[in-house]
Structure formats: C-alpha cells, structure tokens
Amino acid sequence: MMTGSEGLFARLFGRFIGKDKDSGAKTSERTEKENAGPQPDETGKMFIIAGLGNPGRKYEKTRHNCGFEALDVLADRYRIDVSQDKFKARIGTGVIEGQKVLLMKPQTFMNLSGEAVQAACAYYKVDPESDLIVMYDDISLEPGQIRVRAKGSAGGHNGMKSIIQMLGTDRFLRIRIGTGRQPSDYAQTDWVLGHFSPDQISDMADAFDRAARAAAQLLNEDPEKVMSVFNSVRKQEQQEKE
C-alpha cells in the first residue's frame, strides 16, 4: 500500500512520462509531415507553375532551358526556395500575388516532363485547365518574344508533348519563350541545346522577366487580358524602332 508521498510521486512521475510520450508523438508526426513535403491546402486551391528544361550543369543557360530561367526569375522575385526534390522535380511552395503556388522544374529531362507535372497535379488535385501554367522555349518565336496561350498543340516541343499525353488534355495555360529558329546548316537538337549569342543575352533576360510577370498575372487576371498585354509588347517595340 502506497503512502501519501509515494502516491504523489507516482502521479507526478506519470504526468511527466505522459508529457514526454505526447511530445515524442508530436515530434514524430511533425517529422513525417516535413519528410512528406508540402501538403495540399484544404482551405483553398494550389496553382502549379512549371518551367521546363534539362537538369545538370551541361544544359545550364541553353535555349531549351528557357523555362527553368523564367521560373528562377519568378522564384527570386517572390522569394520562393525551389530546392526540394519531389514529383521527380525541384519544387518550392509559396505565395504569389495572394495565391498559393507550387513552382516546379522537372528533373526527368525534357522528353518526360509530363511525368513530373502529372504527379504534382494529381497530388494537389489541380485542374490543369485553370490552375496549371507551363513556361517553355519555342523556336517559332524570335529571341526575346513571348506568347501566352490558354490551349493548343505541342507545336513539336517534346516536353509539351509529354505533358499533354500525361494529362490527357492540351487545355492549360502556357507561356512560350522565343529562341529563334535554327539556321539551315544546324540540326534542331544541336540548336536548342546550344547557347544564346552575346547580343541576344539582354533580350532573353527581358523575355524571362516578362514571362515571370505574365505568370504572376495569370494567377488572378483573365488570360485574354494577360495575352493582350504581353503578346503585343515586342510588336510595339519593333514598330517604334521602324
């Protein structure tokens, strides 16, 4: 039979043990959530903005990595760290113009970009037609031009082909960034994996900036309005020069 002091000690000791167990359980639960990566938002939707390119130092600053470049500008502007590995991509979550976003750079290499984008869309239950934006290079546009579109074919771009195939639709927002078409003596593969000439660097930096601004505006504004602003910029500049 316990004395009064023994009973008090048992109750206090048991209380501390219980607290330690609760604390351990909460720490374990918190660690599991952190390891699982960003969680779907239950109170509002998540937008996904994907920039396409090829991973690795070998492909840095190449024409085919315009999507990566534009995404980096967007991430820097809104202070979003895109360094976590998930969905076969480098990702980061944050807030842009009041909207919760996932920024992603697929690490699958260009031709399998759809695997990463589809995995992220499925996880966040994203409707691609309204909540997905893809930024990528386009040889049919002059260097420095961008085009915002709400739907359309892949236009020969293998990364877009993969995304359209994996999502089962071509109705999603995209921002095309012009690289210019290859000369007649160039193979297309060599051209897109090549680098911009020194006299194009300034135009491309401006294009990446405008692509990032267009992506941010698409989160809240009507796509037609965004198109009317950004799709005509280079035309106006050319007319002014003439």
Q: pLDDT tens across 15-50, in order?
A: 544 555 555 545 444 444 444 444 544 446 899 999
Asked whether residue 223 is domain-assigned, the answer is yes
Q: What's the CATH number where 193 sits?
A: 3.40.50.1470
pLDDT of residue 188: 80
**C-beta of residue 52 within 8 angstroms of C-beta of residue 159:** yes
Q: pLDDT tens across 205-234, in order?
A: 999 999 999 999 999 999 999 999 998 765
Q: Which has the higher per-residue pLDDT, 191 or 157?
A: 157
pLDDT of residue 31: 44
What φ, ψ does residue 196 adopt, rounded to 5°? -70, 150
pLDDT of residue 16: 44
- Which of the four pLDDT bands, split at 50, 70 and 90, describes residue 12? very low
Q: Which has the higher per-residue pLDDT, 4 or 143?
A: 143
Asked whether residue 8 is domain-assigned, the answer is no
Block residue for tokens 């960034």: 177
Asked whether residue 103 is domain-assigned, the answer is yes
CA torsion sign, 177 to 183 to 186 to 188?
Answer: positive
Count of domains forming the chain: 1
Q: Which of 63, 64, 210, 213 is catalytic?
A: 64
Q: Give the mean pLDDT of 43-67.
A: 90
pLDDT of residue 5: 55
| Other Cβ atoms within 10 Å of 109 Cβ, number | 15
Asked whether residue 23 is domain-assigned, the answer is no
64 assigned to active site: yes
Q: Which domain holds residue 226?
A: 47-241
Asked whether residue 6 is domain-assigned, the answer is no
Asked whether residue 24 is domain-assigned, the answer is no
Asked whether residue 161 is domain-assigned, the answer is yes
Q: pLDDT tens across 83-106, in order?
A: 999 999 999 999 999 999 999 999
Asked whether residue 197 is domain-assigned, the answer is yes
